[in-house]
Structure 1
Amino acid sequence: MTDTQHQHHAASFGAVAADYDKARPSYPPALFEAIERLAGRPLRGADVLDVGAGTGIATRLLAERGARVIAVEPSAGMAAQLHAVSPQIPVVKGVGDELPCHDASADLITYAQAFHWTDPAKSLPEALRVLRPGGALVLFWNLKDRSVEWLAEQERRHAAALPSYHYYGVMNAVTEPLSRHPFRVVNERLRWERTITVDDVITDLRSKSYFAVAEPELRERVLADDREWLTGLFPDGRVVEPYTVDVTVAVKQ
């Protein structure tokens, strides 16, 4: 993907914020237990920046565990959806490459489904600037388990039908850039699943950037084909989606 295409995809989420908030997957409790264990500190009472917070799916879960969370989000549409659902969570406009924060002001910086939108040459030094000594940068992604055949077939279908299709893959190649900075890095992978309706699957797909940037006629045709295909696979309308969650915790040294 070129830089221009990358920016186009990154800017596409505001228009699909409601679909994103409605149908994107949440995160299992085990993820936050792993974050606390790997970071060596509880979330309760921690000052957390949730960068690329989107509609606040992870932000709310961090707050529920007692963290003092500030959401950092560049998209006005996504930030508006976050504020509408969770008005108690402060939201500031910004990006990870240039955090709108004071030096040494955060115990944790989290990126949920978001670090791949940054330039690590900028976002990692920014994280080091903003983190307090012993603080941690926490990166995590929900990834559909493509070892399951129907999910692998769905990926093949989308890759063939959509010129804009992309899949970032496991760990998003973050470990190597982190190794060039003063972090102690640990990784973990968790597994979980959710059961949703076929309608929810289609809504979730609408919130993907590669659907959001597609030509409307093509997008609707692919979604209609997916609905028919999924209904054949899941005639009761209930879809079990297995996920892995890749989490990287980088503790500032």
Structure 2
Amino acid sequence: MGLEFIDIFEDWAEEYDKSVAGLDPQYAQVFANYKGILQEVVNLSSGTVLEFGVGTGNLSTLLIEAGHKVIGIEPSKAMRDVAKQKHPNLPVLDGDFIAFPKLRTSIDTIVSTYAFHHLTDDEKKIAVKKYHDLLLPGGKVVFGDTMFTSKEAKELIIEDARNKGHHDLVEDLNREYYPTIDVLHDMFTKHSFNVSFKQMNDFVWIMEAEKQ
């Protein structure tokens, strides 16, 4: 359920905001247009929003400013602490994409950025089924995450990063479970979601999946 990466989350908590600001050259392309990515997720959201992988609370901030009620899920205590410093009244629950506390309110939109790739494909399938059961018809899943058009496209990105000496990025791309768009599309359509994708930078796409 992505928890094998928890140590990385804990270590990255204090540096994450610097990375998304483009201050780490290895990840500059990954976080290119970061504010635009978050804003696109906000624009596609409605009603009460469940956010997985709150991290340091950057997306939460924009959702709250847009008038949404936000419930956050975050497995890393260090990340939760940073998010709560920004928004003391934001409920950030301990959990992950699959195992999370029972919610006492209906959810209109499920969102996440830079996190769903921490699940294996089998875990993603379990998560998609849970989201289908959680949402009413017309409810949405809106994810902004690194994904690739094909396995070959991913290998070209890895080779480019290796040639640039971006060894941490190469390690991430080889270690984590970045999906291809066709696989992610099939996972959601099998559970009666209408799915579309929009590319935001060389790595990140926005997936909008509306439950039929």
User: Is TM more than 0.5 here?
Assistant: yes
Q: 1:245 to 1:16 in 2, by over 3 A?
A: closer
Higher relative contact order (CA 8 A, sep 6+): 1
How far apart are residue 81 of structure 1 and its match? Answer: 1.2
Contact 1:98–1:122 at 8 Å: present in 2 too? Answer: no
CA contact 1:31–1:190 (8 Å) conserved in 2: no
Pair 1:251-2:210 in alignment: yes
Offset from partner CA, 1:4-61 (integer Å, 9 cap, x none): xx6432442113211113332473347534764xx5xx64xx1001111111122212
Give the percent of matched residue pairs that are identical in Structure 1 and Structure 2: 26
Query: Which residue of the partner structure matches residue 175 of structure 1?
Result: 185
From the superposition, tell whether residues 12 and 71 of structure 1 become closer, same or farther in structure 2 (CA, over 3 Å): same
Q: CA deviation at 1:244?
A: 5.0
Hey, what's the Cα distance between the residues in 2 that align with 1:12 and 1:244?
20
Quick one: which of 115, 121, 126 aligns to 2:125?
121
Range with greater deviation from structure 2 (172-181 or 90-99): 172-181
Is residue 50–residue 109 contact of structure 2 (8 Å, CA) maintained in 1? Answer: yes
Residue 51, structure 1, aligned to residue 52, structure 2? yes
- Superposed displacement of residue 164, structure 1: 8.9
Cα pair distance change 1:171/1:94, threshold 3 Å: same
CA distance in structure 2 between the aligned counterparts of 1:155 and 1:166, rounded to whole angstroms: 17
Uncovered stretches (5+) of structure 1, i.e. residues with no partner: 192-242
Change (3 A) 1:72 1:83: same
CA apart distance, 1:125: 1.6
> For residues 35 and 117 of structure 1, what CA distance do their matches in structure 2 show?
22
User: Structure 1 residues 247, 174: CA separation in 2 closer, same or farther (over 3 Å shift)?
Assistant: same
Contact 1:159 1:166 in 2 (8 A): no
Report which stretch shifted further, 22-31 or 89-98: 22-31
Asked if 1 retains the 8 angstrom alpha-carbon contact of 2:161 and 2:169, the reply is: no
- Cα deviation for residue 140 of structure 1 reads 0.7
Alignment check: 8 A CA contact 2:72 2:90 kept? yes
Contact map agreement 1:113 1:142 (CA 8 A) in 2: yes
CA deviation after TM superposition for structure 1 residue 85, in Å? 2.2
1:65 is matched with: 66
Structure showing greater Rg: 1
User: 1:227 corresponds to which residue?
Assistant: none
Give, in angstroms, the shift of residue 251 of structure 1: 0.6
- Aligned residue for 1:133, secondary structure, equals coil
1:139 to 137, 143, 163: 143
Matched, 1:21 2:17: yes
Unmatched tracts of structure 2, length 5 or more: 21-30, 148-155
RMSD: 3.6
Aligned length in residues: 191
One-letter code aligned to 2:10 = G
Cα distance, 1:186 vs. partner?
1.2
